Amino acid sequence: MQRRLKFEKTANLGMNTLVELITTKGKSMKHFLMVLLTLLSQMPIGSAMAQVKAPANDEFRVTLLGTGSPAPVMRRFGPGVLVQAGGKNLLIDSGRGTTQRLMQSGLKLGQVDALILTHLHSDHVVGIPDLWLTGWLEANYAQRKGPFVVYGPKGTQALMDGLAIAYDWDIKARIADQNLKPESIQSKVTEIDEGVIYEQGGVKVVAFKVDHGELLQPAFGYRIDYAGRSVTISGDTRFSENLIKFATGTDLLIHQVAAAREDLLKSPVFQVILAHHTQPHEAGIVFTRVKPKLAVYYHFVLLGIPGIPAVTEKEVFEMTRKTYDGPLLIGEDLMAFRLDAEAVVPLATRSQ
Ligand SMILES: [Zn+2]
Ligand SMILES: [Zn+2]
Protein backbone atom coordinates (compact mmCIF):
# COMPACT_ATOMS: atom_id res chain seq x y z
CA MET A 1 0.00 0.00 0.00
CA GLN A 2 2.75 2.45 0.93
CA ARG A 3 4.26 2.19 -2.56
CA ARG A 4 1.15 3.82 -3.97
CA LEU A 5 2.06 7.05 -2.24
CA LYS A 6 4.33 9.29 -4.23
CA PHE A 7 4.71 13.00 -3.79
CA GLU A 8 4.86 15.50 -6.58
CA LYS A 9 5.94 19.09 -6.33
CA THR A 10 3.53 21.11 -8.39
CA ALA A 11 3.25 24.27 -6.35
CA ASN A 12 5.26 26.73 -4.34
CA LEU A 13 7.52 25.85 -1.47
CA GLY A 14 6.02 26.76 1.90
CA MET A 15 7.47 28.99 4.60
CA ASN A 16 8.47 25.92 6.64
CA THR A 17 10.66 24.74 3.79
CA LEU A 18 12.20 28.18 3.54
CA VAL A 19 13.07 28.24 7.24
CA GLU A 20 14.36 24.68 7.15
CA LEU A 21 16.60 25.29 4.17
CA ILE A 22 17.98 28.51 5.62
CA THR A 23 18.62 26.82 8.95
CA THR A 24 20.36 23.80 7.51
CA LYS A 25 22.16 25.28 4.54
CA GLY A 26 22.64 28.95 5.25
CA LYS A 27 26.16 28.70 6.54
CA SER A 28 27.37 31.96 5.07
CA MET A 29 25.62 35.24 4.39
CA LYS A 30 26.19 34.79 0.64
CA HIS A 31 24.64 31.37 0.70
CA PHE A 32 21.80 32.64 2.90
CA LEU A 33 20.96 35.34 0.35
CA MET A 34 21.13 32.92 -2.55
CA VAL A 35 18.74 30.52 -0.83
CA LEU A 36 16.45 33.36 0.15
CA LEU A 37 16.32 34.86 -3.35
CA THR A 38 15.78 31.49 -4.99
CA LEU A 39 12.94 30.64 -2.67
CA LEU A 40 11.34 34.08 -2.74
CA SER A 41 11.16 33.76 -6.51
CA GLN A 42 9.00 30.69 -5.97
CA MET A 43 6.75 32.19 -3.29
CA PRO A 44 3.32 33.45 -4.36
CA ILE A 45 3.48 37.15 -5.02
CA GLY A 46 0.43 38.97 -6.27
CA SER A 47 -2.31 36.83 -7.68
CA ALA A 48 -2.27 33.22 -6.57
CA MET A 49 -4.53 32.44 -9.52
CA ALA A 50 -1.69 32.85 -11.97
CA GLN A 51 0.42 30.32 -10.09
CA VAL A 52 -1.83 27.29 -9.75
CA LYS A 53 -2.47 25.23 -12.84
CA ALA A 54 -6.11 24.33 -13.38
CA PRO A 55 -6.70 20.59 -13.51
CA ALA A 56 -6.38 18.99 -16.94
CA ASN A 57 -9.60 17.83 -18.60
CA ASP A 58 -9.61 14.30 -17.26
CA GLU A 59 -7.94 15.13 -13.94
CA PHE A 60 -9.72 14.33 -10.70
CA ARG A 61 -8.38 16.74 -8.08
CA VAL A 62 -9.33 17.22 -4.45
CA THR A 63 -8.14 20.25 -2.47
CA LEU A 64 -8.56 20.72 1.27
CA LEU A 65 -9.53 24.38 1.49
CA GLY A 66 -10.08 24.34 5.23
CA THR A 67 -9.17 21.66 7.75
CA GLY A 68 -10.24 23.36 10.98
CA SER A 69 -13.29 23.47 13.21
CA PRO A 70 -14.90 26.39 15.09
CA ALA A 71 -11.57 27.54 16.60
CA PRO A 72 -10.72 30.85 14.82
CA VAL A 73 -7.10 30.11 13.96
CA MET A 74 -5.15 31.20 10.90
CA ARG A 75 -3.51 27.86 10.16
CA ARG A 76 -6.71 25.91 9.81
CA PHE A 77 -9.67 27.69 8.26
CA GLY A 78 -13.19 26.29 8.54
CA PRO A 79 -14.17 23.07 6.76
CA GLY A 80 -14.25 23.16 2.98
CA VAL A 81 -13.18 20.60 0.37
CA LEU A 82 -12.98 21.43 -3.34
CA VAL A 83 -13.58 18.48 -5.67
CA GLN A 84 -12.71 19.07 -9.35
CA ALA A 85 -13.61 16.39 -11.87
CA GLY A 86 -15.24 16.15 -15.29
CA GLY A 87 -15.07 19.93 -15.69
CA LYS A 88 -17.14 20.40 -12.52
CA ASN A 89 -16.06 22.30 -9.42
CA LEU A 90 -17.92 21.06 -6.37
CA LEU A 91 -17.42 22.56 -2.94
CA ILE A 92 -18.24 20.47 0.10
CA ASP A 93 -19.09 22.89 2.95
CA SER A 94 -18.17 26.52 3.25
CA GLY A 95 -16.57 27.21 6.60
CA ARG A 96 -14.68 30.31 7.64
CA GLY A 97 -12.22 31.49 5.00
CA THR A 98 -13.42 29.27 2.15
CA THR A 99 -13.50 32.30 -0.14
CA GLN A 100 -9.86 33.19 0.47
CA ARG A 101 -8.74 29.59 0.16
CA LEU A 102 -10.68 29.22 -3.12
CA MET A 103 -8.70 32.14 -4.51
CA GLN A 104 -5.50 30.45 -3.39
CA SER A 105 -6.60 27.22 -5.04
CA GLY A 106 -6.70 29.09 -8.35
CA LEU A 107 -10.44 29.02 -8.91
CA LYS A 108 -12.69 32.00 -9.53
CA LEU A 109 -15.45 32.20 -6.92
CA GLY A 110 -18.02 32.20 -9.70
CA GLN A 111 -16.68 28.92 -11.08
CA VAL A 112 -18.07 26.86 -8.21
CA ASP A 113 -20.78 24.77 -9.86
CA ALA A 114 -22.40 23.62 -6.64
CA LEU A 115 -22.01 23.99 -2.90
CA ILE A 116 -22.87 20.76 -1.10
CA LEU A 117 -23.44 20.94 2.66
CA THR A 118 -22.80 18.09 5.08
CA HIS A 119 -24.93 19.68 7.83
CA LEU A 120 -25.86 23.10 9.08
CA HIS A 121 -23.52 23.62 12.04
CA SER A 122 -22.16 27.14 11.81
CA ASP A 123 -18.54 26.09 11.29
CA HIS A 124 -19.62 24.46 8.01
CA VAL A 125 -21.78 27.29 6.65
CA VAL A 126 -20.42 30.54 8.07
CA GLY A 127 -18.46 31.17 4.86
CA ILE A 128 -21.56 31.04 2.64
CA PRO A 129 -22.50 34.74 2.65
CA ASP A 130 -18.97 35.69 1.57
CA LEU A 131 -18.83 33.13 -1.24
CA TRP A 132 -22.40 33.86 -2.36
CA LEU A 133 -22.20 37.67 -2.30
CA THR A 134 -18.55 38.20 -3.27
CA GLY A 135 -18.85 35.57 -6.01
CA TRP A 136 -21.59 37.70 -7.57
CA LEU A 137 -19.33 40.72 -8.17
CA GLU A 138 -17.96 41.55 -11.59
CA ALA A 139 -14.35 41.50 -10.41
CA ASN A 140 -12.24 38.98 -12.29
CA TYR A 141 -11.97 36.73 -9.22
CA ALA A 142 -15.76 36.34 -8.99
CA GLN A 143 -18.14 36.55 -12.00
CA ARG A 144 -20.78 33.93 -11.19
CA LYS A 145 -23.12 33.47 -14.11
CA GLY A 146 -26.45 32.06 -13.06
CA PRO A 147 -27.83 31.11 -9.66
CA PHE A 148 -25.88 30.02 -6.59
CA VAL A 149 -26.50 26.26 -6.54
CA VAL A 150 -26.71 24.63 -3.12
CA TYR A 151 -27.44 21.06 -2.04
CA GLY A 152 -27.92 20.37 1.65
CA PRO A 153 -30.07 18.83 4.36
CA LYS A 154 -33.50 20.03 5.39
CA GLY A 155 -33.11 23.60 6.60
CA THR A 156 -30.82 24.66 3.76
CA GLN A 157 -33.61 26.56 1.96
CA ALA A 158 -34.45 28.46 5.15
CA LEU A 159 -30.77 29.29 5.62
CA MET A 160 -30.48 30.76 2.12
CA ASP A 161 -33.82 32.58 2.43
CA GLY A 162 -32.61 34.08 5.71
CA LEU A 163 -29.37 35.24 4.12
CA ALA A 164 -31.35 36.92 1.32
CA ILE A 165 -33.24 38.90 3.98
CA ALA A 166 -30.10 39.70 5.95
CA TYR A 167 -28.30 41.05 2.88
CA ASP A 168 -31.31 42.64 1.22
CA TRP A 169 -29.83 46.16 1.35
CA ASP A 170 -26.58 45.09 -0.33
CA ILE A 171 -28.37 43.06 -3.00
CA LYS A 172 -30.77 45.85 -3.95
CA ALA A 173 -28.01 48.46 -3.86
CA ARG A 174 -25.72 46.51 -6.17
CA ILE A 175 -28.48 45.74 -8.65
CA ALA A 176 -29.45 49.44 -8.81
CA ASP A 177 -25.99 50.94 -8.55
CA GLN A 178 -23.69 48.44 -10.29
CA ASN A 179 -26.23 46.86 -12.58
CA LEU A 180 -25.39 43.38 -11.29
CA LYS A 181 -27.66 40.65 -12.62
CA PRO A 182 -30.48 39.73 -10.19
CA GLU A 183 -30.58 36.12 -11.45
CA SER A 184 -26.99 35.50 -10.35
CA ILE A 185 -27.72 36.32 -6.69
CA GLN A 186 -30.67 33.94 -6.60
CA SER A 187 -29.96 30.68 -4.87
CA LYS A 188 -31.16 27.38 -6.25
CA VAL A 189 -31.51 25.00 -3.34
CA THR A 190 -32.08 21.26 -3.37
CA GLU A 191 -32.76 19.70 0.02
CA ILE A 192 -31.40 16.19 -0.08
CA ASP A 193 -31.71 12.80 1.53
CA GLU A 194 -29.55 9.72 1.33
CA GLY A 195 -28.80 8.60 -2.23
CA VAL A 196 -27.54 10.06 -5.51
CA ILE A 197 -27.92 13.84 -5.27
CA TYR A 198 -25.91 14.99 -8.29
CA GLU A 199 -24.94 13.37 -11.59
CA GLN A 200 -23.44 15.55 -14.30
CA GLY A 201 -20.46 15.32 -16.64
CA GLY A 202 -19.69 11.80 -15.42
CA VAL A 203 -19.47 13.02 -11.82
CA LYS A 204 -21.74 11.25 -9.37
CA VAL A 205 -22.28 12.46 -5.81
CA VAL A 206 -23.88 10.13 -3.31
CA ALA A 207 -25.06 11.41 0.08
CA PHE A 208 -25.03 9.02 3.00
CA LYS A 209 -26.21 9.55 6.55
CA VAL A 210 -23.57 9.83 9.23
CA ASP A 211 -24.00 9.87 13.00
CA HIS A 212 -23.26 13.31 14.47
CA GLY A 213 -25.49 12.69 17.52
CA GLU A 214 -29.21 12.25 18.09
CA LEU A 215 -29.98 15.98 18.28
CA LEU A 216 -27.81 16.84 15.29
CA GLN A 217 -29.72 15.23 12.45
CA PRO A 218 -29.59 15.10 9.58
CA ALA A 219 -25.87 15.05 8.90
CA PHE A 220 -24.37 13.64 5.73
CA GLY A 221 -21.10 12.43 4.34
CA TYR A 222 -20.47 12.33 0.58
CA ARG A 223 -18.87 9.97 -1.87
CA ILE A 224 -17.93 11.43 -5.24
CA ASP A 225 -17.15 9.05 -8.10
CA TYR A 226 -15.65 9.95 -11.46
CA ALA A 227 -14.06 7.70 -14.10
CA GLY A 228 -13.64 4.76 -11.79
CA ARG A 229 -12.05 6.77 -8.99
CA SER A 230 -13.59 8.23 -5.88
CA VAL A 231 -13.20 10.44 -2.84
CA THR A 232 -15.29 10.11 0.31
CA ILE A 233 -15.70 12.95 2.80
CA SER A 234 -16.97 12.16 6.27
CA GLY A 235 -18.42 15.49 7.32
CA ASP A 236 -18.97 15.52 11.10
CA THR A 237 -19.62 12.13 12.58
CA ARG A 238 -18.87 9.79 15.38
CA PHE A 239 -17.91 6.24 14.44
CA SER A 240 -20.33 5.42 11.62
CA GLU A 241 -21.07 1.97 10.22
CA ASN A 242 -23.01 3.65 7.41
CA LEU A 243 -19.93 5.63 6.42
CA ILE A 244 -17.93 2.40 6.25
CA LYS A 245 -20.65 0.86 4.06
CA PHE A 246 -20.68 3.73 1.56
CA ALA A 247 -16.94 4.44 1.63
CA THR A 248 -15.77 0.88 1.08
CA GLY A 249 -13.63 0.73 -2.05
CA THR A 250 -13.05 4.47 -2.14
CA ASP A 251 -9.61 5.74 -3.16
CA LEU A 252 -9.28 8.80 -0.93
CA LEU A 253 -11.02 8.99 2.45
CA ILE A 254 -11.07 12.42 4.07
CA HIS A 255 -12.18 12.02 7.66
CA GLN A 256 -12.70 14.30 10.62
CA VAL A 257 -11.00 13.68 13.96
CA ALA A 258 -11.42 14.81 17.57
CA ALA A 259 -9.40 14.19 20.69
CA ALA A 260 -8.93 15.40 24.26
CA ARG A 261 -6.82 14.34 27.23
CA GLU A 262 -8.54 12.34 29.97
CA ASP A 263 -8.30 15.17 32.52
CA LEU A 264 -10.30 17.42 30.22
CA LEU A 265 -13.07 14.87 29.92
CA LYS A 266 -14.02 15.37 33.58
CA SER A 267 -15.91 18.40 32.23
CA PRO A 268 -19.34 17.54 30.73
CA VAL A 269 -18.95 20.32 28.15
CA PHE A 270 -16.02 18.55 26.56
CA GLN A 271 -17.63 15.13 26.92
CA VAL A 272 -20.55 16.36 24.82
CA ILE A 273 -18.29 17.75 22.08
CA LEU A 274 -16.20 14.60 21.90
CA ALA A 275 -19.31 12.41 21.81
CA HIS A 276 -20.29 14.01 18.48
CA HIS A 277 -17.03 13.15 16.76
CA THR A 278 -14.71 10.29 15.84
CA GLN A 279 -11.58 9.76 17.93
CA PRO A 280 -8.27 8.65 16.39
CA HIS A 281 -8.42 4.99 17.47
CA GLU A 282 -11.99 4.80 16.11
CA ALA A 283 -11.04 6.48 12.84
CA GLY A 284 -8.25 3.91 12.55
CA ILE A 285 -10.86 1.15 12.67
CA VAL A 286 -12.83 2.94 9.93
CA PHE A 287 -9.69 3.20 7.76
CA THR A 288 -8.76 -0.45 8.35
CA ARG A 289 -12.19 -1.58 7.24
CA VAL A 290 -12.60 0.83 4.29
CA LYS A 291 -9.01 0.27 3.07
CA PRO A 292 -8.66 3.51 1.10
CA LYS A 293 -5.54 4.08 -0.99
CA LEU A 294 -5.02 7.08 1.28
CA ALA A 295 -6.71 8.30 4.46
CA VAL A 296 -6.42 12.00 5.32
CA TYR A 297 -7.54 13.80 8.44
CA TYR A 298 -9.35 17.14 8.30
CA HIS A 299 -11.73 19.02 10.62
CA PHE A 300 -9.42 18.77 13.62
CA VAL A 301 -11.23 19.14 16.94
CA LEU A 302 -8.32 19.00 19.35
CA LEU A 303 -9.62 20.24 22.66
CA GLY A 304 -7.53 21.90 25.33
CA ILE A 305 -7.66 24.56 28.05
CA PRO A 306 -4.95 26.40 29.96
CA GLY A 307 -3.24 23.73 32.08
CA ILE A 308 -4.50 20.84 29.93
CA PRO A 309 -2.88 21.17 26.51
CA ALA A 310 -4.63 19.96 23.39
CA VAL A 311 -3.64 16.60 21.94
CA THR A 312 -1.04 17.26 19.25
CA GLU A 313 -1.36 16.19 15.62
CA LYS A 314 1.61 13.87 16.09
CA GLU A 315 -0.24 12.20 18.96
CA VAL A 316 -3.35 11.91 16.77
CA PHE A 317 -1.23 10.12 14.17
CA GLU A 318 0.25 7.76 16.78
CA MET A 319 -3.14 7.02 18.35
CA THR A 320 -4.49 6.12 14.91
CA ARG A 321 -1.59 3.74 14.37
CA LYS A 322 -2.94 1.51 17.17
CA THR A 323 -5.79 0.45 14.88
CA TYR A 324 -4.55 1.25 11.34
CA ASP A 325 -1.24 0.74 9.60
CA GLY A 326 -2.08 1.92 6.07
CA PRO A 327 -1.38 5.20 4.28
CA LEU A 328 -2.36 8.20 6.43
CA LEU A 329 -1.76 11.94 6.24
CA ILE A 330 -2.49 14.83 8.56
CA GLY A 331 -4.33 17.24 6.26
CA GLU A 332 -3.36 20.89 5.94
CA ASP A 333 -5.19 23.79 4.35
CA LEU A 334 -4.53 23.84 0.59
CA MET A 335 -3.14 20.30 0.53
CA ALA A 336 -4.28 18.80 -2.77
CA PHE A 337 -4.50 15.32 -4.26
CA ARG A 338 -4.72 13.97 -7.76
CA LEU A 339 -6.73 10.79 -8.09
CA ASP A 340 -5.12 8.65 -10.77
CA ALA A 341 -6.37 5.24 -11.87
CA GLU A 342 -3.69 3.45 -9.86
CA ALA A 343 -2.84 5.85 -7.06
CA VAL A 344 -3.76 8.90 -5.04
CA VAL A 345 -1.00 11.40 -5.61
CA PRO A 346 -0.56 14.08 -2.93
CA LEU A 347 0.40 17.40 -4.50
CA ALA A 348 2.58 19.70 -2.41
CA THR A 349 0.76 22.01 -0.01
CA ARG A 350 0.61 25.49 -1.45
CA SER A 351 1.78 28.45 0.59
CA GLN A 352 -0.98 29.82 2.76
ZN1 LIG B 1 -17.93 20.82 12.40
ZN1 LIG C 1 -21.02 19.60 13.29
Number of neighbouring beta carbons within 10 Å of residue 108: 17
What local confidence, expressed as pLDDT, does residue 351 receive?
A: 61
Q: Tens of pLDDT along 72-123?
A: 999 999 999 999 999 999 999 999 999 999 999 999 999 999 999 999 999 9
163: pLDDT strictly greater than 90 = yes
CA distances from 58 to 64, 86, 106 (A): 20, 6, 18
Q: Tens of pLDDT along 6-65?
A: 444 433 333 333 223 223 333 334 333 333 333 332 333 233 344 567 888 789 999 999
**Percentage of the chain exceeding pLDDT 90:** 82
Q: Tens of pLDDT along 189-239?
A: 999 999 999 999 999 999 999 999 999 999 999 999 999 999 999 999 999
Ligand 1 center from residue 236 Cα (angstroms):
6
Ligand 2 center from residue 298 Cα (angstroms):
13
Q: β-strands 252-259, 229-233: how paired?
A: parallel
Q: What is the mean pLDDT of residues 321-327?
A: 98
pTM confidence score = 0.86
Determine the 3-state secondary structure of 248 from DSSP: coil
Ligand 2 center from residue 286 Cα (angstroms):
19
What local confidence, expressed as pLDDT, does residue 17 receive?
A: 31
What mean pLDDT value characterizes the chain?
Answer: 87
Active-site residue flag, 123: yes
**Which ligand neighbours the alpha carbon of 79 most closely?**
1
Whole-number Å distance between alpha carbons of 38 and 106: 23
HSE of 339, CA atoms in CB hemisphere, 13 A:
26
Domains, the chain, ranges and CATH? Answer: 3-347 (3.60.15.10)
What local confidence, expressed as pLDDT, does residue 231 receive?
A: 98
More confident residue, 54 or 174: 174
